[in-house]
Structure 1
Amino acid sequence: MRQGLERHLLRRWQAAGPPPFYLRLLSLLYRLATKRRWSRPAERPPCPVIVVGNITAGGSGKTPVVAAVARLLCEQGQTPAIISRGYGGRVSSEPRAVTSVSDPAEVGDEPVLLARRAGCPVWVCADRRAALHAGLRGGADVIVADDGLQHPNLPRSFEICVIDGQRGFGNGHLLPAGPLRQPLERLDSVDATLIKRTGSTDCSADLPGMHVPVEPGAPYRLGTGEGTEGTEIDRQATFDAVCAIGNPDSFFALLEALCYRFRRHPFPDHHVFSGREFSGLAGPLLVTEKDAVKLERLTGLPECWVLPIEAQLPETLIGQLLSHVREFRPS
């Protein structure tokens, strides 16, 4: 049901011509309900707070950018912490620390992945302000917020908006008539705009911002960990490509660019997998790292390979971020 509705809306959002009247009417109600969250908060945080978010629904590639920003800060001698709401987990009003072995059903799949990839503490909480202060109490001197452009209660000092170069802004309408969570004018108040590019996918020439390539690493067997020696994927096999991210087509486009042969199996974002969903698949499986943190808890799966990806931050953005952190002064 949910998957069918998502596919229907995604087709509508990318289609030419005006959306149906009933969707435009619902968009008006959405505008009235969310307009107070459209402006960038003026409150100054107690430390640099870098928000990585988007203004569209359906995924844009925030997670690899968040991980890349956190690793950059670590390399420069900072002590960052990542905060997240923990979508897909059992969201709590109390901050909760996430580790590489945390249960995605409890804290969300993306926070577990970030705990493994970013090299810094990760905190989840429904109250992002509480998560911020938990990070500070844990010793952080910079906070990186996974999502947050639509959350006025979170003070921030630097905003990054990530745009999916494949989908762009769709038809340019607000939810649910279009994919926009905020109007395009919100981009005028962010500090940097990134256009995610996956594989050989062409990006629309009229999208504003810096291109951020998302590059694949070497595939590894599920449960063995990246960089394990003695394991090599059979590039001549036909894979069952399983994907439950905001934009599954971006994963499939990457596999096509890498010349894999595969069958597509898209699922809704943050989908909770069960073993029976794989009983009819011949395998081998090829999955994203975000999905792997959930699949590794299942038994009886076919042979499964994980394709890691990393975002390559533009030099201009790196300079902006490092200058901001150095020059930030609390109020």
Structure 2
Amino acid sequence: MRLIEQAWYQQHWLKWMLLPLSLLFWLLSSLRKWAFRLGLKKQFKVSVPVIIVGNIGVGGNGKTPVVIYLVKLLQRLNINVGVTSRGYGGKADNYPLTLDNGTSAQQAGDEPVLIFQRCNVPVVVGPDRVKNCQQLIELGCQVIISDDGLQHYRLQRDMEIVIIDGQRRFGNGWLLPAGPLRELPSRLNNVDVVICNGGQAKTGEMSLTLSPGALVHIKSGTSLPLEQFVSSHSSQAQALAGIGNPQRFFNTLTDLNLSLSKQVEFVDHHQFSAEDFQQFDDQQPLLMTEKDAVKCRNICPDNAWYLPVDGVLSEADEQHLLQLINTRVLN
């Protein structure tokens, strides 16, 4: 765990050193929000409904599985849905960038590429979310899901869904940089839905579980159910993760009765190189997340596999979510 994360989640003394910067962060972010409320900064309403899927904390909360879940939910209603994202970690020559089959994670960022490959819907990335939305509207989208963007108040929204990490929750409860929060927990009182990813959901929160699928060989695309994977390979494996909460992925693997001989953490959105794989044994399977795999297909070793996961809500929560969407988005 990085030193800054120890300050956020383990009550490290460093948080007290950073507290003055957190007060400055609170002041500036509060002034910005009030500027939008008073009309000093202009908000833009696009011609189709916008659903924000975001968080009040720093990464690793599980937004991407929820975005994919929502896309598939809306597709079942025969709605043309598109996704916009900042495209963090990517760098394109021009924005807005509309993803296609040849778009790399280096251009668009890992999460947008993952969403595009999983859902096969229009995905547009760029720093100007209003322009991104206008591009999606031109592509025929009837509803737009914004991956992140809760604090992007320039874009008006019809519905806000916030994801929280049920295990880490809000850490020490402080704002950046002394804590992991972009906004205070009181912000949750003004959103439409709070989804708790893992851990124990609190009253009023929906509970999300992550359901693992069959392991996929990165180079060939061959998929194997866990039982077949273990019988043809081994229950012992190595693992890496470059996500917001790597330990969540490692715990998932051990919960599947896989024994990890080595586990290596990278920072979220890490740009992998061939050298990163030299520390692993090529005689044991190497497992990673799907988010990492979209960046590694051309550089990973032949023993590399990824584990896809799907976000799942209970039937009651899904019905409640559908009612909210019908009321606040589709009507």
Range of TM-score over shorter length:
0.7 to 0.9
**Is the Cα–Cα contact under 8 Å of residues 115 and 122 in structure 1 kept in the other structure?**
yes
For 1:247 and 1:38, locate their aligned partners in 2 and report how far apart those are by CA, in whole Å. 29
Once the two structures are superposed, what CA deviation does each residue of 1:142-188 show, in whole Å capped at 9, x if it has no partner? Answer: 00110011101111100100001111101101111111110111101
In the alignment, what sits opposite 1:223? 219
Gaps of at least 5 residues in structure 1 are 1-5, 198-202
**Is the Cα–Cα contact under 8 Å of residues 215 and 224 in structure 2 kept in the other structure?**
no
In the alignment, what sits opposite 1:303? 303
In the alignment, what sits opposite 1:132? 133
Residue among 224, 241, 249 paired with 1:243: 241
What does residue range 75-114 of structure 1 map to in structure 2 within 5 Å?
75-90=76-91, 94-114=95-115
In the alignment, what sits opposite 2:23? 28
User: Aligned with 2:87: secondary structure?
Assistant: coil
Deviation larger for 307-316 or 150-159: 307-316
For 1:304 and 1:91, locate their aligned partners in 2 and report how far apart those are by CA, in whole Å. 28
Aligned residue pairs, count = 319
Q: What residue identity is the alignment partner of 2:83?
A: I
**Is the Cα–Cα contact under 8 Å of residues 37 and 151 in structure 1 kept in the other structure?**
no
**Is the Cα–Cα contact under 8 Å of residues 83 and 132 in structure 1 kept in the other structure?**
yes
Alpha-carbon shift at residue 18 of structure 1 (Å):
7.1
Q: What residue identity is the alignment partner of 2:294?
A: V
CA distance 1:319–1:36, shift in 2 (3 Å) = farther
Alpha-carbon shift at residue 31 of structure 1 (Å):
1.1
Once the two structures are superposed, what CA deviation does each residue of 1:178-229 show, in whole Å capped at 9, x if it has no partner? Answer: 11110111101110000001xxxxx256575111111100111113336479
Alpha-carbon shift at residue 302 of structure 1 (Å):
4.2
Alpha-carbon shift at residue 92 of structure 1 (Å):
6.3
Q: CA RMSD in A?
A: 2.6
Alpha-carbon shift at residue 326 of structure 1 (Å):
3.9
TM-score of the aligned structures, taking structure 2 as reference length: 0.88
CA distance 1:92–1:46, shift in 2 (3 Å) = farther
User: Aligned with 2:196: secondary structure?
Assistant: strand
In the alignment, what sits opposite 2:291? 290
CA distance 1:257–1:92, shift in 2 (3 Å) = same
Deviation larger for 83-92 or 247-256: 83-92
**Is the Cα–Cα contact under 8 Å of residues 159 and 329 in structure 2 kept in the other structure?**
no
Gaps of at least 5 residues in structure 2 are 38-42
CA distance 1:82–1:280, shift in 2 (3 Å) = same
Once the two structures are superposed, what CA deviation does each residue of 1:33-84 show, in whole Å capped at 9, x if it has no partner? Answer: 2224557978654222111000011320100110110011111100000000
CA distance 1:329–1:30, shift in 2 (3 Å) = closer
**Is the Cα–Cα contact under 8 Å of residues 192 and 317 in structure 1 kept in the other structure?**
no
User: Aligned with 1:59: secondary structure?
Assistant: coil
What does residue range 1-331 of structure 1 map to in structure 2 within 5 Å?
7-16=2-11, 20-36=15-31, 44-90=45-91, 94-197=95-198, 203-204=199-200, 206=202, 209-225=205-221, 227=223, 232-234=228-230, 236-262=234-260, 263-282=262-281, 283-298=284-299, 301-327=301-327
User: Aligned with 1:172: secondary structure?
Assistant: coil
For 2:222 and 2:82, locate their aligned partners in 1 and report how far apart those are by CA, in whole Å. 23
For 2:174 and 2:204, locate their aligned partners in 1 and report how far apart those are by CA, in whole Å. 17
For 1:324 and 1:132, locate their aligned partners in 2 and report how far apart those are by CA, in whole Å. 22
Q: Percent identity?
A: 37
CA distance 1:248–1:148, shift in 2 (3 Å) = same
**Is the Cα–Cα contact under 8 Å of residues 220 and 232 in structure 1 kept in the other structure?**
no
Q: What residue identity is the alignment partner of 1:267?
A: F
CA distance 1:93–1:326, shift in 2 (3 Å) = farther
User: Aligned with 1:312: secondary structure?
Assistant: strand
CA distance 1:329–1:81, shift in 2 (3 Å) = closer
In the alignment, what sits opposite 1:3? none
For 2:7 and 2:63, locate their aligned partners in 1 and report how far apart those are by CA, in whole Å. 23
**Is the Cα–Cα contact under 8 Å of residues 52 and 147 in structure 1 kept in the other structure?**
yes
TM-score of the aligned structures, taking structure 1 as reference length: 0.88
Q: What residue identity is the alignment partner of 2:79?
A: Q
User: Aligned with 1:234: secondary structure?
Assistant: helix
Alpha-carbon shift at residue 313 of structure 1 (Å):
2.8
